[in-house]
Amino acid sequence: MTIENISINKSFGGWHKQYSHHSETLNCNMRFAIFLPPQVSNGEKVPVLYWLSGLTCTDENFMQKAGAHRVAAELGIAIVAPDTSPRGEGVADDEGYDLGQGAGFYVNATQAPWNRHYHMYDYVVHELPKLIESTFPVSDKRSIAGHSMGGHGALTIGMLNPQRYRAMSAFSPISNPVNCPWGQKAFTAYLGKDTDSWRSHDASELMRQATQFIPVKVDQGESDDFLAEQLKPETLEAAAKASGYPLELTLHEGYDHSYYFIAGFIEDHLRFHARHLNG
């Protein structure tokens, strides 16, 4: 698979790079960013944290705003940040910010016109890791994390693939999309009106029914404007109690939905992942 380097920046002794490539899964050109820590210069293969971003974001938001490079360089962890959806001419879109380009929701769409391109689940789980592991000096030790829509993606993908990921974490995840406006709009468009099919992409539903567990850490700001209507962390907490899932959920007074919140606690998440990636 041919990839094209778009940009490169040295950061904390490592390298932040952007690439584009043609995705067979999504039937379009895609962009991703990767941070390679300085340990790769010594010939080491390092583990990878896959970061899934939220609505309207691209590969750039996390890499530029989260302040993750310093700790990732110290811990010897690569970070891969894909875009949040397929994009480009001919790719279906919507006038709303919460559907279409920038809002892939990390599912495989089954409904037209979305099913031609919108297979972000397969892209994140299969195609992108295969590309990363065949191109860069990384191992097959993986973790997954994300924010908001990306938090939804990280939790659902992690629970659906416990054999592929050592740990998962999320900031402000959409915890119960079958019961919130963002999720209902996206799932109706991408998956159709059969709500039973939605439940396999709902973190609370998956956690309630889980029999295989991987470590999970969730942080949520109590001053998040989307807390009550869209995010519903209480449903995730109740699901964990029902199944005995080892959920570490922390609420933070005064914090909102922004990258100010993520920047304040990203070090905790990276150290959490490092313990399980290297353990």
Active site residue 224: yes
Per the annotation, the verdict on 20 as an active-site residue is: no
Q: How far apart are CA 157 and CA 184, in angstroms?
A: 19
Strand order across the 28-36 sheet: 3-11, 14-23, 28-36, 78-82, 46-52, 138-147, 168-171, 216-221, 247-252
- Catalytic, out of 69, 147, 152, 257: 257
In 3D space, the residue among 68, 199, 269 whose CA is nearest the CA of residue 277 turns out to be 269
Please tell me the distance from the alpha carbon of residue 36 to that of residue 230, in angstroms, as a whole number. Answer: 34
Catalytic residue (one of 23, 53, 143, 148): 148
Give catalytic status of residue 152 as yes or no.
no
- Asked if 5 and 49 touch (Cβ cutoff 8 Å), the reply is no
Phi, psi of 137 (to 5 degrees): -80, 70
User: Which 3 state secondary structure label does DSSP give 189?
Assistant: helix
Task: Name residue 7's amino acid.
Answer: S
Catalytic residue of the set 224, 269, 273, 276: 224
d(CA 119, CA 67) in angstroms, rounded, equals 29
Q: Which residues are catalytic?
A: 148, 224, 257
